[in-house]
A = this chain, B = another copy of it.
Amino acid sequence: VTKKLLVLPGDGIGPEIMHEVARVVAWMSRTRGIVFDISEDLVGGASLAVHGVPIRDEVIAAAKAADAVLFGSVGDPKWASAGFDRRPEIAILKLRQELGLFANLRPAKVFDALVDSSTLKPEVVAGLDIMIVRETVGGIYFGEPRGIETLPDGTKRGINTEVYTTAEIERVARVAFDLARQRGNRVCSVEKCNVMESGLLWKEVVTDLHAREYADVELSHMLADNCAMQMVRNPRQFDVIVTGNLFGDLLSDLASMLTGSLGMLPSATLGAVDAAGRRPALYEPIHGSAPDIAGKGIANPLAQILSFSMLLRYSFAMEAEAALIEKAVANVLASGLRTADIMSPGMAPVSTAVMGEAVVRELDKL
């Protein structure tokens, strides 16, 4: 069966690293006979420039019709002061909301060959492998009321609302528990139940669900401030972390940075399985659009390539093919190839294209 992919390269380095993924996709078609039906469109600043909006309704519709979305990154300093409704970021926020992509899976993994890239001591991060499951369509990102109002004296008041319902918490917790069973079997649920009622409900719902359906998984609870500390103190204590949208935003970025190699980390954002058994899903590297190095051909394409590997695993259950890509990436690193962002002193960096080609060459050997 044909697999429909929507490719959205976005801004900055998005297009040039997506170009390298195309080689891997082509390799899969050629050697495994997988038929991909690929369409591509503009999002973020690239869409604003051409269409005046960060994402068109047609693109949302195409994303809904696709089996999976492969996303680059959005964000462009050109639009920094363009107003709240014309932020490139709206593209990803709208995709999450319109497709109901409620569970963001963010692995923070230290690659053996790159253990020295971290600012943390190697003995603290070697072998690190955390999976953060972040809720992505609720919480303060989307809660109403929201906005800025002018007070009688002319000064202003900015408001946002954090809202979580039992159903929203349960479905994302389920994803975390299910993932834990395939890994270290431990889930740490993170909130601020000591100051926020929404966090208190979060903790209660996770605790209840655990007792009802996941008693075989080890569950712990941690306050978000403590979690930020523990990630620095002893990050390897974590297996799966589940948390809300805002805490997840900070904590998953923090966890990524512990690895020292943002350019290596992919992510998946999954929706609910529908009656026909289809599950909307979007895959993107965790790094941003990196406008400072865009167009120079020096960006690291591996996080985008590994996002495609996650796509094969989670959207098409092609575990063997997903693992093959991961193996190829690990081998390329082991052979000493480095883009500038993951280079140690004394190494010579390779270009985006050389790195992409090397992965395909490695795939040929496997």
Check A155 against B148 for contact (C-beta < 8 Å).
Answer: no
CB 8 Å contact bits of A123-143 with B (1 = contact, 0 = none): 010000000000000001101
A166 at the interface (CB under 8 A from B): yes
A162 contact from B119, B120, B140, B231, Cβ within 8 A: B140
**CB-CB contacts below 8 Å: A89-147 with B:** 89, 93, 119-121, 124, 140-141, 143, 146-147
The chain B residue with its CB closest to the CB of A262 is B229
The chain B residue with its CB closest to the CB of A249 is B225
Q: How many copies does the complex hold?
A: 2
Q: Chain B's nearest CB lies how many Å from the CB of A284?
A: 15
A232 at the interface (CB under 8 A from B): yes
The chain B residue with its CB closest to the CB of A248 is B225
A198 at the interface (CB under 8 A from B): yes
CA distance A317 to B226 in the complex (A): 33
Question: How many A residues face the partner with a CB closer than 8 A?
Answer: 59
A250 at the interface (CB under 8 A from B): yes
B residues within 8 A CB of A251?
228, 250
Check B225 against A250 for contact (C-beta < 8 Å).
Answer: yes
Check B232 against A197 for contact (C-beta < 8 Å).
Answer: no
A165 at the interface (CB under 8 A from B): yes
**CB-CB contacts below 8 Å: A256-312 with B:** 256-258, 262
If A84-B197, A156-B201 are given as contacts, then 15 extra A-B residue pairs at C-beta distance below 8 Å, sorted by A number, are: A87-B194, A93-B195, A140-B140, A141-B196, A151-B166, A156-B205, A158-B163, A158-B165, A158-B197, A158-B199, A159-B197, A159-B198, A225-B250, A233-B257, A254-B254
